[in-house]
Amino acid sequence: MSNSKMIGKAIAGGLCFFGILASFNAAQGPASAAAPTIAEAAAPAASNLDKQLLGQWQGTVPSGQSFTFVFAPEGKLFLMAKGPDGAARAKEMRYKVNLGQKPMHLDVGLSSTEIVQTVFELTPEGQMRLQLQGTNPGQARPNSLNEQATVFKKVSEATALPADTQVIGY
């Protein structure tokens, strides 16, 4: 199974992100220099909500394992976690948002050909609710968030990964 399919299944089912990122050991290296299609469609001007999204968001799946999404400028998104060896790893992806929809739309590019379409909201408490459960590459976007939506807490405004993070390219 390809790395992007494993990440897609993790995003889709809220599976063990640590185990998935650990499986990237053989694929470590710099991110691809090719411009992804999903980033090209990003809106040119950032709104206040766009700016609120930038930074590091930590979530926990029902199994109790936590991971971090890092929303960076120019449509870059990283799924970051520590592997079993303690090393920080991040899978580079792309994202695009449509803030004009309710709930807001989020497209996550796992690769140049695989996109997961989902929905999210920013809560008055400053958290993000993201529908991961029931989403898969190539499937229709959910119409709403349900009780299984993953809740993320913003833990940092930083959009850069720690210097020692091993990045698995797009």
Calpha distance 168→166 (Å, rounded): 7
Q: What is the dihedral of CA 155, 161, 165, 170, to 10 degrees?
A: 110
Calpha distance 96→50 (Å, rounded): 10
pLDDT score at 61: 76
pLDDT score at 133: 84
Assigned token pair, 20:
């998935």
This prediction has a pTM of: 0.74
pLDDT score at 136: 87
pLDDT score at 145: 95
Report the Cα 19 to chain-centroid distance in Å.
Answer: 16
b/e per residue 56-91 (b: at least 16 CB within 10 A)? bbebebeeeeebbbbbbeebbbbbbbbbeeeebbbb
The mean pLDDT values, 10 residues at a time, for the chain of 170 residues are 45 36 38 38 57 93 82 94 84 94 94 93 94 88 93 96 89
Nearest CA among 112, 107, 77, 73 for reference residue 91: 77
pLDDT score at 157: 96
pLDDT score at 45: 45
pLDDT score at 77: 96
Main-chain phi, psi angles of 84, to 5 degrees: -60, -25
